[in-house]
Amino acid sequence: MQSFLYEGLPARVLFGPGRRAELRAEIDRLGVKRALVLCTEDQRQFGELGAELLGDAAAGVHDGAVMHTPMETVDEARRLARELDADGYVAIGGGTTIGLGKGIAIETERPVIAVPTTYAGSEMTPIQGFTEGGVKSTKIDMRMLPRTVIYDPELTLTLPPSYSGPSGMNAIAHAVEALYAENANPIVSLIAEEGIRALGQGLPKVCRKPDDLEGRGLCLYGSWLCGVALGSVGMALHHKLCHVLGGSFDLPHAPTHTVVLPHAAAYNTRAASEAMGRVARALESVDAAEGLYDLAVAIDAPVSLREIGMREEDLARAVELAVQNPYYNPREITEQGIRALLDDAYHGRRPSGQSANSLQEEAL
């Protein structure tokens, strides 16, 4: 019998089309009198919507959320919140906006309500990366966990297939690694498998027909569950590789996850056979890595590092960085193995337990 630790993250979730209308009631419930609404400049309309829903409980709209959460933007938002006498925050947008909300919450200890409009899943985790002087560091603090999350699939209808696909694959990556995490447990694994199943069914629907509300609901439900998986257990090789590729070679976040995931899964297939069996089952595929790759192709998402801006001459440096600082992974991290993995990912080869590179590596 397996022995394990399960620690649940507190969450209050309102889920369903139109539930955004309950934002004001949720603010009242938390005792917030004046909430500052956060968004990005690009998605200012979400900020305006939040303010409209809050009515006289809106302290203002701040569209200063920026990717990678630079500390200057957090400081600026905190200053504005003090000026406006805000006693709570509404982060309405994708992972970038929710990151800013977390940055404010960690210092002010005032509640944040998240209204996610992508599939990143950040609203379900007490984790956040902040950049200062060009260096990104990660903090884990329960004060950053939003107190209420409102998932309204109607707010995701405008997310174009080119974002929906990679954003959903990014969410699936959290669940795949949760299934073979060092501290994996049966409860989080149930959540992770269900998250992959929902996104595996929903993503093809919304990428084919962005206004498919049923599909949007499936994807948002799946991203919620995958976010819980990310917030509950540790990650491994896949997240390390994406951190290296995004941080050192400036590759876009969600597309990098999309490209690397099938290859990280292939790398771990034999060492984490039970977890990979669950991924395959969730995707209704015979093999996890193949199923992930085929899903990316089906939703017209990128499948090679080359097409998302990686330069072939940088691969060697990426390998070097990826094998530095030992970290947990179900299969031993070897330079040879990572080189083969990144070469497959660079060229966008369809992975398989029998791929030329993996066989070659085994022969060595």
Residues that bind ligand NAD (CB under 6 A): 40, 42-43, 67-68, 93-97, 99, 117-118, 120-122, 125, 127-129, 155-156, 158-159, 163, 167, 230, 253-254
Measured between alpha carbons, how far is 213 from 249 in angstroms, rounded to an integer? 36
Nearer to ligand NAD, 216 or 278 (CB): 216
Q: Which of 222-252 are b and which e, b meaning 16 or more Cβ less than 10 Å from the residue's Cβ?
A: bbbbbbbbbbbbebbbbbbbbbbbbbebebe
Nearer to ligand NAD, 45 or 360 (CB): 45
Cβ 115 to ligand NAD, closest distance in Å?
A: 10
76 forms bridges with which residues in the sheet? Answer: none
Measured between alpha carbons, how far is 225 from 245 in angstroms, rounded to an integer? 25
Measured between alpha carbons, how far is 174 from 223 in angstroms, rounded to an integer? 9
Q: How many CB atoms lie within 10 A of CB 285?
A: 17
Nearer to ligand NAD, 204 or 227 (CB): 227
Cβ 61 to ligand NAD, closest distance in Å?
A: 15
Nearer to ligand NAD, 226 or 265 (CB): 226
Nearer to ligand NAD, 254 or 318 (CB): 254
Nearer to ligand NAD, 106 or 237 (CB): 106
Cβ 290 to ligand NAD, closest distance in Å?
A: 25
Bridge-based pairing of strands 135-140 and 148-151 is unpaired
Cβ 45 to ligand NAD, closest distance in Å?
A: 9
Is the backbone of residue 23 left (phi > 0), alpha (psi -120 to 50) or beta? alpha
Bridge-based pairing of strands 135-140 and 127-132 is antiparallel
Q: Nearest residue to ligand NAD, using CB?
A: 95
Cβ 227 to ligand NAD, closest distance in Å?
A: 7
Contact call for residues 92 and 117 (beta carbons, < 8 A): yes
Measured between alpha carbons, how far is 16 from 150 in angstroms, rounded to an integer? 8
Q: Which two tokens stand for residue 107?
A: 């210092």
Cβ 28 to ligand NAD, closest distance in Å?
A: 26
Nearer to ligand NAD, 91 or 280 (CB): 91
- Tokens 């560091």 correspond to what residue? 137
Contact call for residues 116 and 94 (beta carbons, < 8 A): yes
Nearer to ligand NAD, 245 or 340 (CB): 245
Contact call for residues 181 and 248 (beta carbons, < 8 A): no
| DSSP of 22-77 | GHHHHHHHTT-SSEEEEEESTTHHHHHHHHHHHGGGEEEEEEEE-TT-BHHHHHHH
Cβ 254 to ligand NAD, closest distance in Å?
A: 5
35 forms bridges with which residues in the sheet? Answer: 58, 88
Cβ 357 to ligand NAD, closest distance in Å?
A: 29
Nearer to ligand NAD, 159 or 279 (CB): 159
Helix (H) or strand (E) holding 167: helix 161-179
Nearer to ligand NAD, 110 or 174 (CB): 174
